Amino acid sequence: MKHLLQVDNLSVSFNVDASTIKAVRNVSYYIDQGETISIVGESGSGKSVSQLATLQLLPVPPATIDSGRVLLEGEDLLQYEPHDAKMREVRGGRISMIFQEPMTSLNPVKRIGDQIMESIVIHGGVSRDQARKHAINLLKQVRIPDAERRIDDYPHQFSGGMRQRIMIAIALAGNPKLVIADEPTTALDVTTQAQVLELLKSVTEIYGTALLLVTHNLGIVARYAERIYVMYQGRIVESGRSEDIFAHPSHPYTRGLLNAVPRLDDSKDRKLRPIDAAEEIHLPAQERCPFLPRCRYRADVCFDRGVPDLEACVEDGHFAACYRSRQELDAIDRSSEGESIRIDRRNLSADQILDVKDLTVSFPIRKGLLHRKVGDFTAVDNISFAIRRGETFGLVGESGCGKTSVAKSVVRLISDHQGDIVFDGIRLSELTGAALRTERRRIQMIFQDPYSSLNPRKTAGALVGEPLIIHKLVSSRKEYDRRVDELFEQVGLSPAMRNRVPHEFSGGQRQRLGIARALACMPELIICDEPVSALDVSIQAQIINLLEDLQQELGLSYLFISHDLSVVKHISDTIAVMYLGKIVEIAPCEDLYGNALHPYTAALLSAVPIPDPAVEKARKLDVIAGEVSTSLERPTGCYFSDRCPYVMDVCKSEAPPMVHYGKGHYAACFKIESAASGRQRAVE
């Protein structure tokens, strides 16, 4: 059978600094007309390189396609040079690609209409007038409102979700037979991600276009892909139908990914099981399984034989590159089931360590050459919440909702705010100078990006030990060295690494350094601002487990800020949901996920995919219209009224109050109040 695209034994290497890096090794896969498949793997696994090689978009040098065939409807694309007219005809015409970051993929100095029309003219051979009409139709199909006017706008005039829709329109402009989407939703919020993926799926079905999703998000794969290829260190280690791979993962790496991912339908008692760190194996890399140094299932056969080939599993079309059978892997998992159970040894106190009352944070709006103030933008609008001692309080919401402004206000990085922030009975807004520094020592922060939050010129030891000097927590060099070594060991790093500089650490190790630095002051409250969003899933699991272990050991309280609802559910005791500066719902974790009252909370939960195709097929996906407002003006009344499917007249004129519905569950919505009143009248 002839496939639409068939890649056979593709190998790609990079020649860097007189050494050769094998990025892709003997990769083979196929996709048929109208099919949706996915290539899955962590950063550096070779997913994107293999797709760029298919279209000959790799920089030559340093990249070299060492071997293989790329057959598009039986025609080998690698027989052509990258700049041949034939390859230009293929790119955008027969195969289109949607890249990860739409802002860098779109030309900032060209109108979006011109960028869409360029592909239509090149591959369609039509006039500019006809191309413009087609471009407007494409914008309408990807649901850009007021397409006739907005076709002449520039990329910076659109939100991130809108820019990705424009990238989809450009990809479809040449009527391709295959669309390759390389991490198309990584930079998007969860509701926008759901909108973009549903749109991409629907338009490819309308055009009969095949779709190849490149991603590390297993939930997206479970929701959309029919078949999966799992990549590790440049090789495909497992392939098959989605249902088979998720129900019966047959390679240790696939099992490791699934065990490391928090799920919305998880029990709170499940402990994430990260993939083990690599151990030193005294075998040449080319003569062993690439996953052997990290494999918890390895046996003597793995050392005695070379790189395993993809072998057929029980299910038809399911293959895995592993010497151990699925039954053997299952037996090992059963014997270690206790490792996946989380034991909570905390004693949650009724005492409040942090009490935020009526917090409002505004920023001045300035215009003109003289930057005159013309108004204020309210980032946080009159919110209140409290954190108990020893508790993890989750704060969730999409980009721009004000989460980070709340965090910075608590640690007084933003001091110009209204309302009360009471920490352990002390009003922080009344403190200055030495008194403020004393309380700041008890409140520390872990930042989102472990790459930019560490000074690249300082050693790891100096970064971790700096708070000890600032707050005068040690009295001698000997005590300083001992304490720094303790902090390294506390976060799972070797003290021998203290003389390295940040670029010599991996992303997960850098985040551990950030945690060690926060622990140096022996804080009581740690604000975690998206601490795992920049990490791969297995590293993310390590950091989450570390935070949980430290909390139990040291009695810490956390304000955990994230847009990932699966992570927040896993780690939090109480959760608050923010939308455009307001808290719309607060509830104990299980109650919020089992009985979401606010329509925005329900939409967020629906938009989060669960890494299980069987569960996803049974779920109803409610995609809310529109995107989070990026304008300075907010809707009157309820801020969610312009997107809410249940909007009433009162919602457009009045802001709903926060109402207690029992058991610590609060929500601000007129729909809930109306339903509750109706039930009360029925009882009476």
Task: Write the pLDDT tens digit of every residue in 213-249.
Answer: 999 889 999 999 999 999 999 999 999 999 999 999 9
- Cα dihedral 627→631→632→637 (10° resolution): -40
Is residue 573 over pLDDT 70? Answer: yes
- What is the Cα–Cα distance from 515 to 529, expressed in whole angstroms? 12
- What is the Cα–Cα distance from 368 to 118, expressed in whole angstroms? 36
- What is the Cα–Cα distance from 355 to 491, expressed in whole angstroms? 29
Residues 6+ apart with CB under 8 A from 476: none
Is residue 567 over pLDDT 80? Answer: yes
Burial of 682 (0-12, 13-18, 19+ CB in 10 A): exposed
pLDDT band at 70 (very low <50, low <70, confident <90, very high): very high
Query: For residue 326, which of 247, 234, 218, 262 has the smallest C-alpha distance?
Result: 247
- What is the Cα–Cα distance from 176 to 207, expressed in whole angstroms? 9
Residue 331 amino acid letter: A
Residue 141 has a pLDDT of 87
pLDDT over 70 percentage in the chain: 98
Q: Which two tokens stand for residue 612?
A: 């299980």
Is residue 519 over pLDDT 50? Answer: yes
Residue 204 · residue 211 · CB < 8 Å: yes
Mean local confidence (pLDDT), 615-631 = 78
Residues 6+ apart with CB under 8 A from 92: 119, 122, 123, 171, 173, 174, 176
Residue 680 has a pLDDT of 43
- What is the Cα–Cα distance from 588 to 393, expressed in whole angstroms? 9
Residue 683 has a pLDDT of 35
Mean pLDDT, the chain, integer: 89
pLDDT over 90 percentage in the chain: 55
Q: Which domains does the chain have, with CATH numbers?
A: 1-92+176-261+272-340 (3.40.50.300), 109-175 (no CATH), 347-424+524-610+635-684 (3.40.50.300), 434-523 (3.40.50.300)
Give 601's Cβ-side CA count (13 Å radius): 28
Burial of 399 (0-12, 13-18, 19+ CB in 10 A): middle
Which segment of 20-24, 188-192, 273-277, 287-291 scores lowest on mean pLDDT?
188-192
Residue 451 · residue 534 · CB < 8 Å: yes
Task: Write the pLDDT tens digit of every residue in 137-152.
Answer: 999 988 888 899 999 9
Query: Distance between the two ends of the chain, CA-based, in angstroms?
Result: 69
- What is the Cα–Cα distance from 239 to 252, expressed in whole angstroms? 13
Burial of 293 (0-12, 13-18, 19+ CB in 10 A): middle
Task: Write the pLDDT tens digit of every residue in 341-400.
Answer: 888 878 777 899 999 999 999 988 888 888 888 888 889 999 999 999 999 999 998 888
pTM value is 0.89
For residue 276, give the H/E element and its range: none
Which segment of 154-168, 251-265, 665-679 scores lowest on mean pLDDT?
665-679
- What is the Cα–Cα distance from 604 to 606, expressed in whole angstroms? 5
- What is the Cα–Cα distance from 421 to 358, expressed in whole angstroms? 9
Q: Return the CA Rg of the chain.
A: 27
CA distances from 338 to 253, 269, 335 (A): 20, 11, 8
Is residue 679 over pLDDT 50? Answer: no
CA distances from 261 to 440, 541, 559, 609, 616 (A): 34, 7, 21, 12, 16
Mean local confidence (pLDDT), 427-448 = 88
Mean local confidence (pLDDT), 580-589 = 94
Query: For residue 422, which of 435, 434, 431 has the smallest C-alpha distance?
Result: 431
Q: Which two tokens stand for residue 413?
A: 């990085």
